[in-house]
Homo-oligomer: A and B are copies of this chain.
Amino acid sequence: MIETPYLLFLGDAPDPLAAKVAQGIRDWRPEFAIGQYRMDGCKADMKLPDMSLAEAHAKGARTLVIGVANRGGVISESWKAVLHTALEQGFDLASGLHNLLRDEIDLVETARQHGRMLHDVRVPSVKYPIANGVKRSGKRLLAVGTDCSCGKMYTTLAMEAEMRARGQKATFRATGQTGILITGGGVPLDAVIADFMAGSIEYLTPDADAGHWDLIEGQGSLFHVSYSGVTLALIHGGQPDALVICHEPTRSHMRGLPGYKLPGIEAVRDMALALARVANPACQVVGVSINTQHLFEAEATRYLAETEARLGLPTVDPFRHGAGRLVDALAAI
């Protein structure tokens, strides 16, 4: 686990989108976000107090999280002076970039000298077991998508926030680097060795109280030929009691696959449910989450209503309208 709270490093972010990791932390774990650190020319702003390293450390920050990605996901040389100073002043560093902190010899040496940790959340830090398929206590929900990057993380985080607001026991379980940085822990599933994928998800979602829900962040899609195996490992390792189907309705083709059309929500519902019942015969599809960010309000409202009427399942955009109806649907499980 990454030590909290954080100081969010926005570096020289060329635009607000580059800081989506920082934004995720601010939106979903504001209590972890003590402040932000911006360099000259930074175009992102989390509306958090700008702080020096010393100020943030004095206020309790223990990890400097690289909340920004530049082209190629590398660790910019222009950041290095700040990163070294942070280690010297008692911060750990955490990063989800492709290029690893641990491969930067100078950072490794400074961390060693000052007894600090370098967290590269893209690479597993645990030797995961092979899945044993044994039924675990507690309840689990998994977000499955018609495609990659269609709102699965957002949906499960929004459900967690809603359930906690209602006083229900719920834990978002991160399976990708952004989710791991937001919550401080999880499994970077796309970097796990094939044989241990399902086992890593069993490890991620252990036995829990009968009334507790693990809300598992989905990855990929059963219909995305590049990553479908990762998705199926989530379905079988997660042994979900409930599925939410996530969809972004304006895509002309699968992400990164120009030759592949998106499947219908019904096709994903049927395929995911049939496969989920191998691990958990009681699994149910409880709702549909539509990412309507590219639709105007009236279009979004109509699309949601039509989808709900067609599928007979609560259908919402949790960003626009909240996750309340998806959470309501869990009561029947």
Contact = CB atoms under 8 A, between A and B. Distances in A.
Contacts of A194: 189-194, 197, 229-230, 233
A72 B191 contact: no
A195 to B, nearest CB: 4
B198 A190 contact: no
Contacts of A223: 278
A15 to B, nearest CB: 18
A98 B135 CA distance: 26
A226 B199 CA distance: 7
A259 B239 CA distance: 13
Interface in A251-297: 254, 256-257, 259-260, 263, 271, 274-275, 278-279
A227 B181 CA distance: 28
Nearest to A280: B225
B130 A71 contact: yes
A180 to B, nearest CB: 15
A259 B279 CA distance: 10
A220 to B, nearest CB: 9
A191 B131 CA distance: 15
Nearest to A274: B271
B229 A135 contact: no
Nearest to A199: B226
The residue in A133, A223, A228, A235 that gathers the most chain B C-beta atoms within 10 A of its C-beta is A228
A191 B195 contact: yes
A133 B72 CA distance: 15
A105 interface: no
A22 interface: no
Contact of A232 (B71, B132, B228): B228
Nearest to A71: B130
A178 to B, nearest CB: 15
A264 to B, nearest CB: 12
Interface string A193-233: 11101110000000000000000000000110111111111
A96 interface: no
A236 interface: yes
The residue in A197, A223, A231, A279 that gathers the most chain B C-beta atoms within 10 A of its C-beta is A197
A192 B193 contact: yes
A237 interface: yes
Contacts of A259: 133-135
Contacts of A239: 225
A292 B98 CA distance: 44
Contact of A233 (B192, B229, B235): B229
Interface of A: 71-72, 98, 130-135, 189-195, 197-199, 222-223, 225-233, 235-237, 239, 254, 256-257, 259-260, 263, 271, 274-275, 278-279
Given A191-B194, A199-B226, A222-B278, 9 more contacts: A132-B256, A132-B257, A133-B226, A133-B254, A133-B257, A133-B259, A190-B194, A190-B195, A229-B233
7 contacts: A132-B226, A191-B194, A198-B228, A226-B236, A228-B233, A228-B275, A260-B278
